[in-house]
Amino acid sequence: MIPKETIDLIFETARIDEVVGDFVHLKKRGVNLLGNCPFHDEKTPSFTVSPAKGIYKCFGCGKGGNAVNFVMDHEHFSYPEALKYLANKYNIFIEETVRTPEQEEAANDRESMFIVSNIANEYFQDQLFNSDEGRAVGLSYFKERGFREDVLKKFLLGYSPEKSDAFSTHALKEGYKLEFLEKTGLTIPKGSRNYDRFHGRVMFPIRSLSGRVLGFGGRILKSNVKGCKIPQLSRKRNLSQK
């Protein structure tokens, strides 16, 4: 837990223009600053930052709030994570009181889920570039659509093999726990088998700006089956956090 005085200090110190400015290119417009909204797609800037009021507001999608809200929304941070991020940015020392075992467990769970998402991402990329199936199916799919290899690598795109438990088997063999594979939504246990939520698909990681893999979107390559998207990790996190 972060002491209240420290929270107050973080709120007083954090300057909205600096916090947003780390992620959005802002231009001066009168007393305010203006930029392209990071929360929706736009060509004409409608994202306004008011240093005087300490808030941001988008007139396109309606998102708005203070510096803490911004990093929570933008980086998918929880409230304490957002405070820590800002404290770190402004060199404010946080003397944390001890976490309860439940809080400790929730934090560890979340970290484990991030780790699992990351190794999944590495596995899918490896399959796309280094397996016969990945190259024949996934890579040729991307190439037909004009994606260059450097672009695929930049955006960490990957391929999940046709075999219905390829990833889950790989992850379990590497020592990752079924509990977290299931919590991230990547593995669906059924009886004694563990099935991959995604198989025979090209994979698109959903990332925060700081680069953390939050979840995946998968595009199925056969026309007779419906594709699906797993819930983002951040959403699950909010549920488990309360």
The token duo for 161 is 């093999």
Count of residues that bind Zn ion according to CB under 5 A: 6
From residue 155, give the alpha-carbon distance in Å to each of 84, 149, 201, 205, 206. 28, 10, 16, 8, 10
Q: Identify the three-state secondary structure at position 79.
A: helix
Q: Please report, as residue ranges, which positions from 64 to 93 form the binding site for Zn ion (by CB under 5 A).
A: none
Selected from 23, 39, 142, 204, the binder of Zn ion by CB under 5 A is 39
Q: List Cβ neighbours of 28 (8 Å cut-off, separation of 6 or more).
A: 34
Q: By CB under 5 A, which span of 61-69, 149-157, 162-170, 227-235 interacts with Zn ion?
A: 61-69
Q: Does 116 bind Zn ion (CB under 5 A)?
A: no
Selected from 7, 19, 58, 67, the binder of Zn ion by CB under 5 A is 58
Q: Does 37 bind Zn ion (CB under 5 A)?
A: yes
The token duo for 80 is 């304490």
Kindly tell me which of 63 and 84 has the beta carbon lying closer to Zn ion: 63
| 122 in Cβ contact with 144 (< 8 Å) | no
Q: By CB under 5 A, which span of 17-25, 58-66, 135-143, 209-217 interacts with Zn ion?
A: 58-66
Selected from 54, 60, 64, 80, the binder of Zn ion by CB under 5 A is 60
Q: Which amino acid is at 28?
A: K
Q: Does 228 bind Zn ion (CB under 5 A)?
A: no
Picking from 218, 222, 165, the residue whose alpha carbon sits closest to that of residue 191 is 165
Residue 31 CA to residue 146 CA, distance in Å, equals 44
Q: Does 24 bind Zn ion (CB under 5 A)?
A: no
Q: Does 40 bind Zn ion (CB under 5 A)?
A: yes
Enumerate binding residues for Zn ion (CB under 5 A): 37, 39-40, 58, 60-61
